[in-house]
Structure 1
Amino acid sequence: MWTKIVPVTALLTAVTFTVVPDATAHATPNTPVGGEALGSHGLVRPAGVDAPPKTKATSYVIADLDTGDVLAAKDPHGRYLPASTQKMLTAVTLLPKLDKNRKVRPSANACNQEGTAVGLTPKMTYKVDDLFRALMMSSGNDAAMALAETNGGVAKTMRDMNAEAHRLQAYDTVAKTPSGLDQPGQSSSAYDLALIARAGLANPDFRRYVSTKTAKFPAPKNYYEISNHNKLLWRYQGTIGVKNGWTSKAQGSFVGAATRGGHTVLVAIMRHEGYFWEEVAKLLDWGFAVRGKAQPVGRLVDPLPDTPPQAQRAPQAAAPTGQATPAARPSLLDASASRQNGSTYTIGAIVIGGGLLFGLVWLGYGIRRRRRL
């Protein structure tokens, strides 16, 4: 009877050692996202046109935002610290989750965040809309923390942000903070920043925040004015956003997008050692000059499709290989639990049946013994 228990114990042991998910890890595809050429660490450029202008940025991507064509790139999947460009992912993740008219009283922890701040105080309440404006215009680390706390806390927000990065196929991105303040293991890439910015600019509220030059922000006594940190809004014709960042470890990072003649070009740079505004403007000029005239070197991929829970549970047709498709294949934990439950029921039936049989035998033996006495 005990031999039936051994497979269940072995199964539980196998599950324990096999399923150890990392909340911040993403499955990395075998080929570079966006195309084989984007796996290069050097400059990737189309033939038949002038090379892009030189820049001190270690990594960059120039893309046609409308078509998704990557026009040129340098080390596009190189992983670097994102600094405050990570706030784009914070906004893309939380905008659909938080009511922008909700009133929030920030915690002392949120108000005391290091680095750039908009000046939140725990003595006031703010609309979520104000916090997003502070996040994307003034790069407020205090606003980033207040939004994360409103979403249920930093841990939950990090899970949500990393899940959103995975949905966007931004596999180089690992978020550790809502603000982009440096943390070990945190990373992104110029390619991922382009993906995230593209998703953000598709949201009207996101687009409104990153394109606003100045705005009134609530204060204990009336309000004060805040300005957008993106200098291209004042300097480059057609600029519509999006976000800059800097820390001493990350150095300069920036994503900028502009629209001219009905077309939008985006430039994402990472790890720039100094003043980059004029260089980005020249990269944008080059993008507008070559779009539609040169063979793209890659593409910005679309987000993964959302699969309704009902579709995941519905029967699926067999894949050509005879195996279940990813949507239909149960997780290791679910499959193991199913097998474990089946074995448990079998063992339970054996144990109960054996117990009843033993009781009947013992009862008969007792009756015969009393008759003899």
Structure 2
Amino acid sequence: MRRCTSALGLAVLTVALATPAAPALAADPIGGPQLAGSGIIVPAGVQAPPKTKASSYVIADADTGEVLAAKNPHGRFLPASTLKALTALTLIPLLDKNKTVKPSQAAVNEEGSAVGLVPKPIYKVHDLLRALMMVSGNDCANALAEANGGMRETLADMNEVARRLQANDTVAKTPSGLDKPGQSSSAYDLALIARAGLKLKDFREYISTKTAKFPAPKGHYEIGNHNKMLWTYDGMLGVKNGWTSKAFGSFVGAAKRDGHTIIVSVMRHEESFWKDVEQLMNWGFANRGKNAAVGALVEPLPEVQPSPVPSALAAPVPEGNAAVSEPARPEGDGPGVLATIVLGGGVVAGVGLLGWGIRRKRRQSPTASS
């Protein structure tokens, strides 16, 4: 595991809060030692962000990766539908957006928020990803997992992406974010996931679309994005909100003003969080570039190059354009063979950011609330 080694060396103000106890943290957490605190973390001499009933939050500069302020950033909580940001980030590079999908009856019947799928081959992957992020369709999450080879394979892919991002507080047990024992994330991890997603063109499209037409057995109907701030907050790019009775409210979002992008994530908010998120965003824009950071959103882990295969053991290469079968995927949730990635010192753009360390290429196969 690579840890942030930059010497931040800043005094911070940490305020003890009466929040549920979080699991013990490493002495040097991902993002820097100051992010080990469970209270409010700001540079010394800087006024803290407005009060919020969220148990955890992160305010970060998406351009530089600087964490500007935080509260219990590595506290682990149920993510609810904010986990769908990881689902989309994982599946966008893997699935052909024009592939036709016929959802199973089980996917159609998934509980919680839904777009209203029917078990008919009338949907494209593009439709399902858009509805996943716009209207938080749990039915879409399951249908996409089916298109990706199944629930087990999709969860393994999601957890591998989290590992590559160094989102070590995140464990995906469902693609929808519906509560399940052992599932978790943190405000810090949600910010990492959102920052990575913003580098994917399709991800940016899905999170920012306000209204769209969605296929129906006879024509289509219109769906609207559940992120209220797309209509009310200047420069809002979107990302994802969520809620369950156990997780309470969660949100991760990004806004861009004057060429600068701020990310805010909150977890376990006991009431309506929209006003609090707006105030935290405003604080981020007002303070970016003016004060020392309290931590950093780390870059994905660098790729480890596989050892070369001795020529005597190498399989013969088919002539012409004959298809080459992919290596068999190992069973279980362990990491597979990772795609090569070259990481620079700054922001990495495009799908090549992650190739996602997932060994499979974008499939071109045929039809197949929280």
Q: Does TM, scored on the shorter chain, surpass 0.5?
A: yes
Percent identity between matched residues is: 68
Could you list the per-position Cα deviations for residues 274-314 of structure 1 after superposition, in whole angstroms to 9, with x for gaps in the alignment? 1111111010000000100011000000001223434699x
Could you list the per-position Cα deviations for residues 173-210 of structure 1 after superposition, in whole angstroms to 9, with x for gaps in the alignment? 00000000000000000000000011111100000000
Secondary structure at the aligned position of 1:309 is classed as coil
Is 1:250–2:247 an aligned residue pair?
A: yes
Could you list the per-position Cα deviations for residues 132-190 of structure 1 after superposition, in whole angstroms to 9, with x for gaps in the alignment? 00100010000000000110100111111111100000000000000000000000000
Amino acid in structure 1 at the alignment position of 2:31: G
Amino acid in structure 1 at the alignment position of 2:150: G
Q: How far, CA to CA, are the matches of 2:128 and 2:307 in structure 1?
A: 35
Match of 1:217 in 2: 214
Could you list the per-position Cα deviations for residues 311-368 of structure 1 after superposition, in whole angstroms to 9, with x for gaps in the alignment? 699xxxxxxxxxxxxxxxxxxxxxxxxxxxxxxxxxxxxxxxxxxxxxxxxxxxxxxx
Matches within 5 A, 1:138-153: 138-153=135-150
Matches within 5 A, 1:282-361: 282-310=279-307
Match of 2:202 in 1: 205
**RMSD over aligned Cα, in angstroms?**
1.5
Match of 1:42 in 2: 39
Match among 137, 161, 165 for residue 162 of structure 2: 165
Amino acid in structure 2 at the alignment position of 1:72: A
- Whichever structure has more helix as a proportion of its residues is 1
Q: How far, CA to CA, are the matches of 1:178 and 1:305 in structure 2?
A: 26
Match among 116, 119, 130 for residue 119 of structure 1: 116
Is 1:275–2:275 an aligned residue pair?
A: no
Secondary structure at the aligned position of 1:267 is classed as strand
- TM-score, normalised by the number of residues in structure 1: 0.75
1:253–1:269 Cα contact (<8 Å) kept: yes
Secondary structure at the aligned position of 2:43 is classed as coil
Match of 1:155 in 2: 152
Matches within 5 A, 1:42-191: 42-191=39-188
Q: How far, CA to CA, are the matches of 2:104 and 2:122 in structure 1?
A: 10
Task: Provide closer, same or farther for how the CA distance between residues 156 and 276 of structure 1 changes in structure 2, counting only shifts above 3 A.
Answer: same
Q: How far, CA to CA, are the matches of 1:165 and 1:294 in structure 2?
A: 29
Q: How far, CA to CA, are the matches of 1:311 and 1:241 in structure 2?
A: 43
Is 1:231–2:225 an aligned residue pair?
A: no
2:40–2:48 Cα contact (<8 Å) kept: no
Q: How far, CA to CA, are the matches of 2:298 and 2:309 in structure 1?
A: 23
The structure having more radius of gyration, on CA atoms, is: 1
28-37 or 303-312, larger mean C-alpha shift: 303-312
Task: Provide closer, same or farther for how the CA distance between residues 116 and 312 of structure 1 changes in structure 2, counting only shifts above 3 A.
Answer: farther
CA shift at 1:47, angstroms? 2.3
Could you list the per-position Cα deviations for residues 103-152 of structure 1 after superposition, in whole angstroms to 9, with x for gaps in the alignment? 11111011000000000000342000000001000100000000001101
1:47–1:295 Cα contact (<8 Å) kept: no
1:49–1:290 Cα contact (<8 Å) kept: no
Match of 2:367 in 1: none
Structure 2 spans left out of the alignment, 5+ residues: 1-24, 311-370
2:62–2:262 Cα contact (<8 Å) kept: yes
Q: How far, CA to CA, are the matches of 1:243 and 1:171 in structure 2?
A: 20
CA shift at 1:239, angstroms? 0.2
Structure 1 spans left out of the alignment, 5+ residues: 1-27, 314-373
Secondary structure at the aligned position of 1:44 is classed as strand
1:124–1:220 Cα contact (<8 Å) kept: no
Amino acid in structure 2 at the alignment position of 1:130: D
Q: How far, CA to CA, are the matches of 1:261 and 1:47 in structure 2?
A: 27
Aligned residues: 287
2:100–2:121 Cα contact (<8 Å) kept: no
Q: How far, CA to CA, are the matches of 1:42 and 1:185 in structure 2?
A: 24
